[in-house]
Amino acid sequence: MRGAELVGTETVGPEPVCAAMDGGHSLRIDVTVWKLMELFLQSLLVAWVKTLSPVASGKEDNLYMHLVDGILLNQVMLEIDPRPNQRFHQHVNNHVNLRIENLTILVRHIKTFYQEVLQQLIVMSLPDVFMIGKDPLSGE
């Protein structure tokens, strides 16, 4: 996770765990999850979102959490398709239900855009917004 400072690793049970400081908060993240988040934050999708969003381009701290709370991605989707009038929560503050609502709105907006504008049906399985919203650091 960019912006988070890795302070060490330890073995807790069968899995190694990273101890990190992120914005003054201590996090315990599985090493594998940490590496997956690092790879994700270096992906082309994240680079593209940074070019479209002043919030994402100006903040490396907590970027992963800003993405999974749905605010940045909903803002990007509104740039692509400004038609929907459903409002999303601008201040999630790590509130699970607000994060799930934002992600649900995002997925609905993407599905609607594909069906109504592109006239295509999404046939792949969609992300589990409840799992992401409930535990965004799970790696699932």
Residue extents of the structural domains in the chain: 1-42, 54-140
* Per-residue pLDDT, 57: 56
Q: What percent of the chain has pLDDT over 70?
A: 71
More confident residue, 66 or 106: 106
More confident residue, 130 or 9: 130
- Angstrom CA distances, 76 to 14, 80, 98, 106, 134, stand at 40, 7, 18, 10, 23
Average pLDDT taken over every residue of the chain:
75
